[in-house]
Amino acid sequence: MSKIFLIDTAKRPLNPIHPAQARQMLRNGKAAIFRRFPFTLILKTEQPETLVDKLRIKIDPGAKTTGLALINDLSGEVIFAAELQHRGFEIKHLLTSRSQLRRSRRSRKTRYRARRYKNRSRKEGWLAPSLQSRVDNILTWVSRLRKFAEIGAISQELVKFDTQIMQNPEITGKEYQQGTLAGYETREYLLEKWGRKCAYCDTENVPLQVEHICPLAKGGSNRISNLTLSCEKCNVKKGTKYIKDFLKKDPQRLDAILKQVKKPLADTAAVNTTKYALLKSLEATGLPVETGSGGLTKFNRTQQGLKKTHWIDAACVGQSTPRLIAKNIKPLLIKAEGNGNRKLCITDKFGFPKKHRPRKKLHFGFRTGDIVKAVVTKGKNVGSYIGRVAIRSNGSFDISIKDRHKKQGVSYKYCQTVHRKDGYSYLF
Protein backbone atom coordinates (compact mmCIF):
# COMPACT_ATOMS: atom_id res chain seq x y z
CA MET A 1 0.00 0.00 0.00
CA SER A 2 1.31 3.45 -0.91
CA LYS A 3 2.57 5.36 2.11
CA ILE A 4 1.91 8.97 3.09
CA PHE A 5 4.67 11.56 2.96
CA LEU A 6 5.47 13.33 6.23
CA ILE A 7 7.52 16.47 6.85
CA ASP A 8 8.50 18.16 10.11
CA THR A 9 7.78 21.73 11.20
CA ALA A 10 10.83 22.95 9.26
CA LYS A 11 9.50 21.18 6.12
CA ARG A 12 12.27 18.57 6.18
CA PRO A 13 11.27 15.09 4.94
CA LEU A 14 10.71 12.29 7.45
CA ASN A 15 10.07 8.59 6.90
CA PRO A 16 6.76 8.04 5.02
CA ILE A 17 4.01 6.56 7.20
CA HIS A 18 1.17 4.07 6.78
CA PRO A 19 -2.23 5.60 5.83
CA ALA A 20 -3.76 4.32 9.09
CA GLN A 21 -1.11 6.15 11.09
CA ALA A 22 -1.74 9.27 9.02
CA ARG A 23 -5.48 9.15 9.79
CA GLN A 24 -4.73 8.76 13.48
CA MET A 25 -2.36 11.74 13.49
CA LEU A 26 -5.00 13.89 11.76
CA ARG A 27 -7.69 12.84 14.26
CA ASN A 28 -5.43 13.57 17.22
CA GLY A 29 -4.41 16.97 15.84
CA LYS A 30 -0.72 16.06 15.66
CA ALA A 31 -0.46 16.83 11.94
CA ALA A 32 -2.17 18.83 9.24
CA ILE A 33 -2.56 18.38 5.50
CA PHE A 34 0.30 20.17 3.76
CA ARG A 35 -0.39 19.07 0.19
CA ARG A 36 -3.06 16.95 -1.51
CA PHE A 37 -1.08 15.67 -4.53
CA PRO A 38 1.05 13.87 -3.57
CA PHE A 39 -0.70 13.57 -0.22
CA THR A 40 1.65 15.02 2.42
CA LEU A 41 1.25 15.76 6.14
CA ILE A 42 3.16 18.31 8.20
CA LEU A 43 3.74 17.93 11.93
CA LYS A 44 2.33 20.64 14.20
CA THR A 45 4.97 20.31 16.91
CA GLU A 46 8.70 19.80 16.81
CA GLN A 47 9.91 16.21 17.19
CA PRO A 48 13.35 14.87 18.17
CA GLU A 49 15.56 14.08 15.19
CA THR A 50 15.22 10.54 13.88
CA LEU A 51 17.11 8.49 11.33
CA VAL A 52 15.46 8.89 7.91
CA ASP A 53 15.78 6.09 5.36
CA LYS A 54 17.19 7.06 1.99
CA LEU A 55 14.95 6.07 -0.91
CA ARG A 56 15.63 5.53 -4.59
CA ILE A 57 13.50 7.19 -7.24
CA LYS A 58 13.13 5.08 -10.39
CA ILE A 59 12.09 6.46 -13.77
CA ASP A 60 10.83 4.67 -16.88
CA PRO A 61 10.65 7.49 -19.50
CA GLY A 62 8.05 7.18 -22.24
CA ALA A 63 6.94 9.24 -25.22
CA LYS A 64 3.38 9.52 -23.88
CA THR A 65 3.54 8.24 -20.28
CA THR A 66 6.45 8.03 -17.83
CA GLY A 67 6.44 5.67 -14.86
CA LEU A 68 7.74 6.86 -11.47
CA ALA A 69 8.37 4.79 -8.36
CA LEU A 70 9.97 5.38 -4.95
CA ILE A 71 11.69 2.27 -3.62
CA ASN A 72 13.32 1.41 -0.32
CA ASP A 73 16.40 -0.53 -1.49
CA LEU A 74 16.84 -2.25 1.87
CA SER A 75 13.33 -3.64 2.27
CA GLY A 76 12.21 -3.64 -1.39
CA GLU A 77 9.03 -1.81 -0.43
CA VAL A 78 7.35 0.43 -3.01
CA ILE A 79 6.69 3.67 -1.12
CA PHE A 80 5.02 5.68 -3.87
CA ALA A 81 4.09 5.14 -7.52
CA ALA A 82 2.87 7.48 -10.23
CA GLU A 83 2.23 7.57 -13.97
CA LEU A 84 2.97 10.91 -15.61
CA GLN A 85 1.17 11.63 -18.89
CA HIS A 86 3.01 14.09 -21.15
CA ARG A 87 1.57 16.67 -23.51
CA GLY A 88 4.33 16.68 -26.13
CA PHE A 89 2.06 16.00 -29.11
CA GLU A 90 -0.37 18.70 -27.93
CA ILE A 91 2.49 21.20 -27.76
CA LYS A 92 3.50 20.34 -31.32
CA HIS A 93 -0.07 20.95 -32.49
CA LEU A 94 -0.27 24.30 -30.68
CA LEU A 95 3.05 25.50 -32.08
CA THR A 96 1.98 24.52 -35.60
CA SER A 97 -1.30 26.38 -35.16
CA ARG A 98 0.51 29.48 -33.87
CA SER A 99 2.94 29.39 -36.77
CA GLN A 100 0.10 29.22 -39.30
CA LEU A 101 -1.71 32.17 -37.75
CA ARG A 102 1.44 34.29 -37.62
CA ARG A 103 2.34 33.48 -41.20
CA SER A 104 -1.14 34.48 -42.35
CA ARG A 105 -1.08 37.73 -40.36
CA ARG A 106 2.39 38.62 -41.55
CA SER A 107 1.38 38.30 -45.20
CA ARG A 108 -1.72 40.43 -44.65
CA LYS A 109 -0.34 43.23 -42.52
CA THR A 110 3.34 43.79 -43.32
CA ARG A 111 5.22 44.95 -46.36
CA TYR A 112 7.61 42.63 -48.11
CA ARG A 113 10.84 42.04 -46.23
CA ALA A 114 13.92 40.32 -47.55
CA ARG A 115 14.56 36.89 -46.13
CA ARG A 116 17.03 36.72 -43.24
CA TYR A 117 19.39 33.87 -42.60
CA LYS A 118 20.97 32.49 -39.42
CA ASN A 119 19.09 34.88 -37.15
CA ARG A 120 17.72 32.17 -34.90
CA SER A 121 20.79 30.55 -33.35
CA ARG A 122 20.16 27.71 -30.93
CA LYS A 123 22.17 26.68 -27.92
CA GLU A 124 24.04 23.42 -27.86
CA GLY A 125 21.78 20.61 -26.68
CA TRP A 126 18.61 22.41 -27.80
CA LEU A 127 15.48 20.25 -27.95
CA ALA A 128 12.19 20.95 -29.67
CA PRO A 129 9.60 22.30 -27.17
CA SER A 130 7.48 19.14 -27.49
CA LEU A 131 10.53 17.08 -26.45
CA GLN A 132 11.84 19.51 -23.85
CA SER A 133 8.47 19.39 -22.08
CA ARG A 134 8.95 15.66 -21.41
CA VAL A 135 12.29 16.31 -19.74
CA ASP A 136 10.91 19.26 -17.76
CA ASN A 137 7.88 17.29 -16.51
CA ILE A 138 10.10 14.52 -15.14
CA LEU A 139 12.53 16.97 -13.51
CA THR A 140 9.61 18.82 -11.92
CA TRP A 141 8.42 15.65 -10.22
CA VAL A 142 11.89 14.56 -9.18
CA SER A 143 12.29 17.97 -7.55
CA ARG A 144 8.90 17.72 -5.80
CA LEU A 145 9.50 14.23 -4.47
CA ARG A 146 12.86 15.32 -3.08
CA LYS A 147 11.00 17.88 -0.94
CA PHE A 148 8.78 15.23 0.66
CA ALA A 149 11.11 12.21 0.86
CA GLU A 150 14.81 11.65 1.49
CA ILE A 151 16.10 10.62 -1.95
CA GLY A 152 19.52 8.98 -2.02
CA ALA A 153 19.79 7.73 -5.61
CA ILE A 154 18.09 7.74 -9.00
CA SER A 155 17.59 4.96 -11.55
CA GLN A 156 16.67 5.72 -15.16
CA GLU A 157 15.85 3.41 -18.03
CA LEU A 158 18.27 4.84 -20.57
CA VAL A 159 17.61 2.66 -23.62
CA LYS A 160 14.70 0.46 -24.63
CA PHE A 161 16.89 -1.90 -26.60
CA ASP A 162 20.61 -2.55 -26.36
CA THR A 163 21.26 -2.49 -30.11
CA GLN A 164 24.98 -3.19 -29.67
CA ILE A 165 24.20 -6.47 -27.94
CA MET A 166 21.75 -7.40 -30.70
CA GLN A 167 24.39 -6.76 -33.40
CA ASN A 168 27.46 -8.01 -31.50
CA PRO A 169 26.52 -10.42 -28.68
CA GLU A 170 30.03 -10.46 -27.17
CA ILE A 171 30.39 -6.70 -26.76
CA THR A 172 29.67 -6.79 -23.02
CA GLY A 173 30.87 -10.26 -22.23
CA LYS A 174 29.80 -13.85 -22.61
CA GLU A 175 28.07 -14.04 -19.23
CA TYR A 176 25.62 -11.19 -20.04
CA GLN A 177 24.61 -12.48 -23.47
CA GLN A 178 24.47 -16.21 -22.79
CA GLY A 179 23.16 -15.99 -19.26
CA THR A 180 19.68 -15.25 -17.95
CA LEU A 181 19.30 -12.08 -20.09
CA ALA A 182 19.81 -13.81 -23.45
CA GLY A 183 17.11 -12.78 -25.94
CA TYR A 184 15.39 -10.17 -23.76
CA GLU A 185 16.71 -7.17 -25.71
CA THR A 186 15.60 -8.58 -29.08
CA ARG A 187 12.18 -9.67 -27.83
CA GLU A 188 11.50 -6.31 -26.16
CA TYR A 189 12.33 -4.51 -29.41
CA LEU A 190 10.00 -6.77 -31.42
CA LEU A 191 7.16 -6.36 -28.91
CA GLU A 192 7.38 -2.59 -29.25
CA LYS A 193 7.69 -2.64 -33.02
CA TRP A 194 4.85 -5.08 -33.72
CA GLY A 195 2.40 -3.77 -31.13
CA ARG A 196 2.51 -6.87 -28.87
CA LYS A 197 0.31 -8.91 -31.21
CA CYS A 198 0.64 -11.57 -33.91
CA ALA A 199 1.70 -10.04 -37.22
CA TYR A 200 -0.38 -12.57 -39.20
CA CYS A 201 -3.72 -12.67 -37.33
CA ASP A 202 -3.56 -9.74 -34.84
CA THR A 203 -4.11 -12.04 -31.86
CA GLU A 204 -3.26 -10.35 -28.54
CA ASN A 205 -2.73 -11.46 -24.93
CA VAL A 206 -1.29 -14.85 -25.94
CA PRO A 207 2.29 -16.15 -25.81
CA LEU A 208 4.06 -14.80 -28.92
CA GLN A 209 6.96 -16.47 -30.69
CA VAL A 210 9.83 -14.86 -32.57
CA GLU A 211 9.27 -15.74 -36.23
CA HIS A 212 11.54 -15.43 -39.27
CA ILE A 213 9.97 -13.58 -42.20
CA CYS A 214 12.34 -15.36 -44.58
CA PRO A 215 12.80 -18.88 -43.09
CA LEU A 216 16.23 -20.00 -41.95
CA ALA A 217 15.77 -23.14 -44.07
CA LYS A 218 15.63 -20.95 -47.19
CA GLY A 219 18.53 -18.64 -46.52
CA GLY A 220 17.01 -16.29 -43.92
CA SER A 221 19.08 -14.80 -41.12
CA ASN A 222 18.62 -13.80 -37.47
CA ARG A 223 18.91 -10.10 -38.28
CA ILE A 224 16.33 -7.84 -36.63
CA SER A 225 14.96 -6.84 -40.05
CA ASN A 226 14.05 -10.49 -40.68
CA LEU A 227 12.18 -11.06 -37.41
CA THR A 228 8.58 -10.56 -36.41
CA LEU A 229 6.15 -11.97 -33.84
CA SER A 230 3.45 -14.60 -34.35
CA CYS A 231 1.22 -16.83 -32.28
CA GLU A 232 2.01 -20.55 -32.17
CA LYS A 233 -0.82 -21.43 -34.56
CA CYS A 234 0.38 -19.03 -37.30
CA ASN A 235 4.02 -19.98 -36.76
CA VAL A 236 3.29 -23.68 -37.26
CA LYS A 237 1.02 -22.96 -40.24
CA LYS A 238 3.66 -20.83 -41.99
CA GLY A 239 6.44 -23.33 -41.35
CA THR A 240 9.23 -22.83 -43.90
CA LYS A 241 7.15 -20.97 -46.48
CA TYR A 242 8.19 -17.64 -47.91
CA ILE A 243 5.98 -14.87 -46.55
CA LYS A 244 4.75 -14.02 -50.07
CA ASP A 245 3.57 -17.61 -50.52
CA PHE A 246 2.01 -17.73 -47.05
CA LEU A 247 0.05 -14.49 -47.52
CA LYS A 248 -0.65 -14.64 -51.26
CA LYS A 249 -4.41 -14.63 -50.53
CA ASP A 250 -4.07 -11.58 -48.26
CA PRO A 251 -1.98 -9.04 -50.21
CA GLN A 252 -3.11 -6.16 -47.99
CA ARG A 253 -1.61 -7.75 -44.87
CA LEU A 254 1.51 -8.75 -46.78
CA ASP A 255 2.03 -5.17 -47.87
CA ALA A 256 1.47 -3.90 -44.30
CA ILE A 257 4.04 -6.34 -42.84
CA LEU A 258 6.68 -5.50 -45.43
CA LYS A 259 6.17 -1.78 -44.72
CA GLN A 260 6.32 -2.32 -40.94
CA VAL A 261 9.65 -4.12 -41.30
CA LYS A 262 11.22 -0.88 -42.57
CA LYS A 263 9.23 1.47 -40.35
CA PRO A 264 11.08 3.16 -37.45
CA LEU A 265 9.55 3.51 -34.01
CA ALA A 266 8.20 7.08 -33.69
CA ASP A 267 7.64 6.95 -29.92
CA THR A 268 11.02 5.30 -29.39
CA ALA A 269 12.63 8.07 -31.45
CA ALA A 270 11.13 10.67 -29.10
CA VAL A 271 12.46 8.80 -26.06
CA ASN A 272 15.88 8.31 -27.64
CA THR A 273 16.10 12.03 -28.46
CA THR A 274 15.49 13.08 -24.86
CA LYS A 275 17.16 10.28 -22.88
CA TYR A 276 20.64 11.82 -22.64
CA ALA A 277 19.28 15.30 -21.95
CA LEU A 278 17.28 13.79 -19.09
CA LEU A 279 20.31 11.85 -17.84
CA LYS A 280 22.45 14.99 -17.86
CA SER A 281 19.80 16.92 -15.94
CA LEU A 282 19.41 14.13 -13.36
CA GLU A 283 23.18 13.98 -12.85
CA ALA A 284 23.12 17.74 -12.24
CA THR A 285 21.06 17.10 -9.08
CA GLY A 286 24.21 15.69 -7.44
CA LEU A 287 22.62 12.29 -6.74
CA PRO A 288 24.15 9.04 -8.04
CA VAL A 289 22.31 7.99 -11.21
CA GLU A 290 22.02 4.35 -12.31
CA THR A 291 20.97 3.43 -15.84
CA GLY A 292 19.52 0.26 -17.32
CA SER A 293 18.01 -1.06 -20.54
CA GLY A 294 14.43 -2.04 -21.34
CA GLY A 295 15.48 -5.67 -21.70
CA LEU A 296 16.82 -5.66 -18.14
CA THR A 297 13.61 -4.00 -16.91
CA LYS A 298 11.50 -6.75 -18.49
CA PHE A 299 13.79 -9.43 -17.08
CA ASN A 300 13.41 -8.04 -13.55
CA ARG A 301 9.63 -7.78 -13.96
CA THR A 302 9.11 -11.31 -15.30
CA GLN A 303 11.43 -12.83 -12.71
CA GLN A 304 9.18 -11.41 -9.98
CA GLY A 305 5.92 -12.28 -11.75
CA LEU A 306 4.67 -8.69 -11.97
CA LYS A 307 2.25 -7.41 -14.58
CA LYS A 308 3.26 -4.76 -17.10
CA THR A 309 2.31 -1.20 -16.18
CA HIS A 310 4.30 2.01 -16.42
CA TRP A 311 4.95 2.33 -12.68
CA ILE A 312 5.89 -1.35 -12.28
CA ASP A 313 8.34 -1.00 -15.17
CA ALA A 314 9.81 1.99 -13.34
CA ALA A 315 10.16 -0.03 -10.14
CA CYS A 316 12.07 -2.72 -12.08
CA VAL A 317 14.62 -0.40 -13.72
CA GLY A 318 18.31 -1.14 -13.20
CA GLN A 319 20.56 -3.72 -11.58
CA SER A 320 19.74 -2.39 -8.10
CA THR A 321 16.18 -3.80 -8.22
CA PRO A 322 15.50 -5.79 -5.00
CA ARG A 323 12.68 -8.25 -4.37
CA LEU A 324 9.77 -5.81 -4.59
CA ILE A 325 6.90 -5.53 -2.13
CA ALA A 326 4.22 -3.98 -4.34
CA LYS A 327 0.85 -5.17 -3.05
CA ASN A 328 -2.23 -2.90 -3.16
CA ILE A 329 -0.31 -0.01 -4.70
CA LYS A 330 -2.56 2.56 -6.37
CA PRO A 331 -0.46 4.82 -8.59
CA LEU A 332 -1.17 8.54 -8.73
CA LEU A 333 -2.21 9.35 -12.30
CA ILE A 334 -0.69 12.69 -13.25
CA LYS A 335 -1.50 14.51 -16.48
CA ALA A 336 0.45 17.53 -17.67
CA GLU A 337 -2.05 20.27 -18.49
CA GLY A 338 0.19 23.29 -18.89
CA ASN A 339 -0.37 26.71 -17.33
CA GLY A 340 -2.79 28.20 -19.83
CA ASN A 341 -1.68 30.26 -22.79
CA ARG A 342 -0.89 33.86 -23.68
CA LYS A 343 -3.33 34.23 -26.56
CA LEU A 344 -5.20 37.50 -26.24
CA CYS A 345 -7.55 36.65 -29.10
CA ILE A 346 -9.53 33.44 -29.60
CA THR A 347 -9.89 32.46 -33.25
CA ASP A 348 -12.20 30.11 -35.10
CA LYS A 349 -10.96 27.16 -37.13
CA PHE A 350 -10.27 29.47 -40.09
CA GLY A 351 -8.05 31.82 -38.06
CA PHE A 352 -10.50 34.72 -37.80
CA PRO A 353 -10.92 36.35 -34.38
CA LYS A 354 -13.99 35.39 -32.36
CA LYS A 355 -13.48 37.07 -29.01
CA HIS A 356 -10.80 38.46 -26.74
CA ARG A 357 -9.58 36.92 -23.51
CA PRO A 358 -9.99 38.97 -20.32
CA ARG A 359 -6.81 40.09 -18.61
CA LYS A 360 -8.06 39.18 -15.15
CA LYS A 361 -7.32 35.53 -14.32
CA LEU A 362 -8.63 35.37 -10.74
CA HIS A 363 -12.36 35.49 -9.94
CA PHE A 364 -13.94 34.95 -6.51
CA GLY A 365 -10.64 33.50 -5.24
CA PHE A 366 -10.42 30.82 -7.96
CA ARG A 367 -8.44 30.50 -11.18
CA THR A 368 -8.85 28.10 -14.07
CA GLY A 369 -6.98 24.89 -13.32
CA ASP A 370 -7.64 24.77 -9.56
CA ILE A 371 -8.94 21.45 -8.26
CA VAL A 372 -12.11 22.14 -6.29
CA LYS A 373 -14.81 20.26 -4.42
CA ALA A 374 -18.38 21.47 -4.99
CA VAL A 375 -21.29 20.25 -2.83
CA VAL A 376 -24.38 21.57 -4.62
CA THR A 377 -27.50 21.50 -2.43
CA LYS A 378 -30.11 22.94 -4.78
CA GLY A 379 -30.82 23.49 -8.45
CA LYS A 380 -30.32 21.16 -11.42
CA ASN A 381 -26.73 20.26 -10.44
CA VAL A 382 -27.46 18.79 -7.01
CA GLY A 383 -24.61 16.51 -5.95
CA SER A 384 -20.94 16.41 -4.97
CA TYR A 385 -18.21 16.96 -7.56
CA ILE A 386 -14.40 17.07 -7.49
CA GLY A 387 -12.32 18.17 -10.46
CA ARG A 388 -10.51 20.95 -12.32
CA VAL A 389 -12.47 24.16 -12.54
CA ALA A 390 -12.89 26.56 -15.45
CA ILE A 391 -13.89 29.96 -14.10
CA ARG A 392 -16.09 32.73 -15.47
CA SER A 393 -16.38 36.32 -14.33
CA ASN A 394 -20.11 35.85 -13.63
CA GLY A 395 -19.40 33.15 -11.00
CA SER A 396 -20.85 30.25 -13.01
CA PHE A 397 -18.06 27.66 -13.17
CA ASP A 398 -17.50 24.43 -15.12
CA ILE A 399 -16.00 21.44 -13.29
CA SER A 400 -14.25 18.68 -15.25
CA ILE A 401 -14.73 15.33 -13.52
CA LYS A 402 -13.73 11.76 -14.37
CA ASP A 403 -14.06 10.24 -17.85
CA ARG A 404 -13.99 13.68 -19.51
CA HIS A 405 -17.43 14.60 -18.19
CA LYS A 406 -18.03 18.25 -17.41
CA LYS A 407 -20.55 19.69 -14.97
CA GLN A 408 -21.53 23.13 -16.22
CA GLY A 409 -23.08 26.08 -14.43
CA VAL A 410 -21.89 25.40 -10.86
CA SER A 411 -21.93 28.52 -8.69
CA TYR A 412 -18.67 29.59 -7.04
CA LYS A 413 -20.55 29.68 -3.72
CA TYR A 414 -20.55 25.87 -3.60
CA CYS A 415 -16.84 25.49 -4.48
CA GLN A 416 -14.03 24.84 -2.04
CA THR A 417 -10.38 24.69 -3.10
CA VAL A 418 -8.73 21.27 -2.75
CA HIS A 419 -5.50 21.89 -4.66
CA ARG A 420 -4.20 25.05 -6.26
CA LYS A 421 -3.33 25.07 -9.95
CA ASP A 422 0.18 23.74 -10.61
CA GLY A 423 0.04 22.71 -14.27
CA TYR A 424 -1.12 19.12 -13.64
CA SER A 425 -4.35 17.21 -13.07
CA TYR A 426 -4.61 14.14 -10.84
CA LEU A 427 -6.55 10.90 -10.56
CA PHE A 428 -6.22 7.71 -8.53
CATH 2.30.30 corresponds to the domain 345-423: yes
| First-last CA distance in the chain | 13
Higher-confidence residue of 428 and 22: namely 22
pLDDT at residue 107, rounded to an integer: 72
pLDDT digits 0-9 by tens, 201-240: 998 888 899 899 989 888 888 887 888 999 999 999 999 8
pLDDT at 173 over 60: no
Residues 360/364/367/372 CA torsion (nearest 10 deg): -170
pLDDT at 181 over 60: no
Residue 296 DSSP SS3: helix
Mean pLDDT of 336-356: 81
Q: Beta strands of 118-207 (E only): which ranges? A: 151-159
Give Cα 389 distance to the centre of its chain.
23
pLDDT at 123 over 70: yes
Mean pLDDT of 120-125: 80
pTM given for the model:
0.77
Which residue, among 74, 70, 62, has the nearest Cα to 270 in the 3D structure? 62
Residues 210/211/212/215 CA torsion (nearest 10 deg): 130
Phi and psi, residue 345, nearest 5°: -130, 130
Residue 81, burial from CB neighbour count under 10 angstroms (0-12, 13-18, 19+): buried
Which residue, among 394, 392, 399, 393, has the nearest Cα to 416 in the 3D structure? 399
Domain boundaries, the chain: 5-43, 345-423
- In this structure, is the dihedral angle defined by the CA atoms of residues 6, 8, 9 and 12, taken in order, positive or negative? negative
